[in-house]
């Protein structure tokens, strides 16, 4: 088990958090492998996916030392506990739930609740959140990230929802610590055709975009990693 400081570093290292939601069971392992080979350092399995806790356990073993695996769409304490027992190193929620944050803190895991407003951000941090997930980011846009970072530069923000190749750089340059990506990273057509090489190359593109955007910034001033 990695200390939390190391988990935070791994979570933000590539700047991409892959969201795996309701994928064909037999294809989860090769898809995750392709994502990790593409340089993505964190993979989220949503708990509303079939057999999610077993998948988290399997991927944690499969990707050990290459990418950390966590649980997404966690909205209650029991789901949080089961995910952690299955090996989840981080818990992400689409909304703000104190019991999920408390469970993560109890076991030393990274927790990122979903927020939209400044008040929700502050509440999340007061309850002990490590980062906040700006969701759905497509509604607010990268300018909102830049504007909200002015009064709250100490709060690491991870936009999720509607992130794609053409806007990833704008979110990173606006000060996002990382971005969460689902369908744009692993589109349904690539899953249908089992084109794992394409998935890996797509992951590499996203990682490269983040790296380029970060190089244009002062990481100390713009991207708090913990």
Q: So which residues are the catalytic ones?
A: 44, 133
SS3 (DSSP) at 94: coil
Beta bridge partners of 158: 133
3-state helix, strand, coil in the chain (%, to 5): 50, 15, 35
Give the residue carrying structure tokens 């689409």.
94
Q: What does each C-alpha distance from 98 to 105, 112, 167 come to in angstroms?
A: 11, 11, 31
Sign, CA torsion 135/93/28/16: positive
Other Cβ atoms less than 10 A from the Cβ of 32: the count is: 26
Which residue, among 203, 181, 183, has the nearest Cα to 39 in the 3D structure?
Answer: 203
Q: Which residues contact 167 (CB under 8 A, 6 or more apart)?
A: 142
Q: Concatenated DSSP letters for 153-193?
A: TTS-EEEBSS--TTTHHHHHHTT-S-EEESTTTS-HHHHHT
Element (H, E) at 196: helix 196-215
């Amino acid at each position: 088990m990695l200390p939390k400081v190391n988990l935070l570093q791994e979570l933000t290292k590539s700047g991409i958090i892959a969201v795996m939601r309701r994928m064909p069971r037999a294809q989860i392992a090769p898809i995750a492998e392709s994502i990790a080979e593409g340089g993505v350092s964190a993979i989220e399995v949503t708990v509303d996916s079939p057999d999610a806790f077993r998948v988290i356990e399997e991927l944690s073993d499969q990707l050990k030392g290459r990418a950390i695996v966590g649980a997404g769409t966690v909205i209650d304490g029991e789901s949080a506990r089961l995910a952690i027992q299955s090996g989840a190193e981080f818990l992400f929620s689409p909304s703000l739930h104190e019991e999920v944050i408390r469970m993560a803190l109890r076991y030393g895991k990274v927790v990122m609740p979903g927020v939209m407003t400044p008040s929700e951000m502050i509440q999340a941090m007061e309850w002990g959140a490590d980062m906040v997930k700006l969701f759905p980011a497509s509604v607010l846009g990268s300018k909102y990230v830049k504007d909200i970072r002015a009064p709250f530069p100490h709060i690491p923000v991870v936009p999720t929802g509607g992130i794609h190749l053409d806007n990833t750089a704008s979110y990173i340059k606006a000060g996002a610590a990382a971005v969460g990506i689902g369908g744009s990273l692993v589109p349904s057509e690539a899953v249908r055709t089992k084109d794992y090489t394409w998935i890996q190359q797509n992951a590499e593109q996203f990682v490269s975009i983040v790296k380029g955007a970060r190089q244009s910034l002062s990481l100390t001033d713009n991207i708090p990693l913990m």
